[in-house]
């Protein structure tokens, strides 16, 4: 098992697209969206994954993560068992300085939302911020994919 340390940001513009080293379509669902333990099924490009994540620490930057690649056919079958609210997005990978930013452009019920994440080796690690990075939303659970699957972005204006 590993510990994931990341920070999340809103994205101001789509200027990042020209800097992307790659992009992949992602479809994911949750077998469990409980905050103490999320169990996610994902198809990323041509690969399937099963991921379990623990609760985030107080700052929202660090949590336990276990992930295994599974056959895409298995991931497709597991997606059919998931809780309501499948997440659809395109992930752009953008190298910037010494780090890799993953920018998710959501579609479907979360259309209009763009979130960037950067994984860090330690919680206090410094990093260079690209000009297209907006407000930090690290630790704000409404920006977690598990929350977005239950309360999609299109519903937020009603909250």
Mind telling me the catalytic residues?
30
Residue 53 near residue 24 (C-beta atoms within 8 A): no
Q: Which of these, 37, 32, 137, 43, lies nearest to 85 by C-alpha position?
A: 32
For residues 99 and 116, what is the distance between their CA atoms, to the nearest angstrom? 12
CB 128 within 8 A of CB 96: yes
The β-bridge partners of 95 are 100
């Amino acid at each position: 098992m590993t510990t994931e340390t990341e920070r999340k940001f809103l994205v101001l513009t789509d200027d990042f697209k020209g800097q992307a080293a790659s992009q992949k379509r992602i479809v994911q669902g949750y077998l469990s969206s409980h905050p103490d333990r999320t169990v996610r099924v994902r198809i990323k490009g041509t690969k399937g994954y099963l991921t379990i994540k623990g609760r985030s620490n107080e700052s929202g930057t660090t949590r336990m993560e276990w992930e295994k690649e599974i056959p895409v056919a298995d991931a497709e079958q597991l997606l059919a068992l998931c809780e309501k609210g499948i997440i659809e997005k395109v992930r752009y990978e953008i190298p910037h300085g010494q780090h890799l930013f993953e920018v998710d452009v959501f579609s479907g019920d979360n259309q209009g939302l763009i979130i960037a994440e950067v994984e860090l080796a330690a919680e206090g690690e410094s990093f260079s911020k690209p000009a297209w990075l907006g407000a930090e939303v690290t630790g704000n659970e409404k920006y977690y994919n598990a929350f977005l699957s239950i309360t999609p972005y299109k519903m937020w204006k009603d909250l």
